[in-house]
Amino acid sequence: MKQTQPFHLAIPVNNLETCRTFYRDTLGFTEGRSSDHWVDFDFFGHQLVIHYKEKEKTESSSSNPVDGKDVPVPHFGVVLDMETFEAFSALLKSKNITFIIEPYIRFKGKAGEQATMFFKDPSGNALEFKAFKNMNQLFAH
């Protein structure tokens, strides 16, 4: 099996300083390189870059029903181990994050059982963090 390599993801934000503070101080991600138009972060070992982009006049959001909840589309995030997920969700609760979907166990007792949570950054980018009861079931069906 190949070793998983870090991914690189660049996302638009409409207020660079507000989002920089959110990712660094609220979520606790270490800041890396930056310019006056972008900032990169250590996103659980991956490279997340926020790029300034002027706010669109009309922004639409959509969702899909999953496990009886409205999951925002698009969204991104990281699969964590359960211990890290629990510590991270506790941190987010202590920082009064407004969750789209509060941390809970999805697909309980089924293949792919996982903890998951969703929230948005200040620019409206939806994030999901999850952890599997059994990591070998990451792609189970």
- Distance, first Cα to last Cα, the chain: 20
The pLDDT of residue 59: 63
Give the residue from 92, 111, 95, 96 showing the smallest Cα distance to 129: 92
Question: Is the pLDDT at 96 greater than 80, yes or no?
Answer: yes
The pLDDT of residue 87: 97
- b/e map 43-57, b = 16+ CB within 10 Å: beeeebbbebeeeee
User: In this prediction, what percent of the chain has a pLDDT beyond 70?
Assistant: 96
What residues have CB less than 8 Å from 132, skipping those under 6 apart?
Answer: 79, 82, 112, 113, 114, 138
The confidence band for 138, taking pLDDT boundaries of 50, 70 and 90, is confident
Contact between residue 13 and residue 123 where contact means Cβ atoms under 8 Å apart: yes
Looking at residue 108, its amino acid is K
The pLDDT of residue 58: 65
Say how far apart CA 63 and CA 74 lie, in whole Å: 8
- Structural domains of the chain in order of their starting residue, each with its CATH number: 1-54 (3.10.180.10), 68-141 (3.10.180.10)
What does the pLDDT look like over 45-83, one tens digit per residue?
A: 999 999 999 988 766 678 888 878 888 899 999 999 999
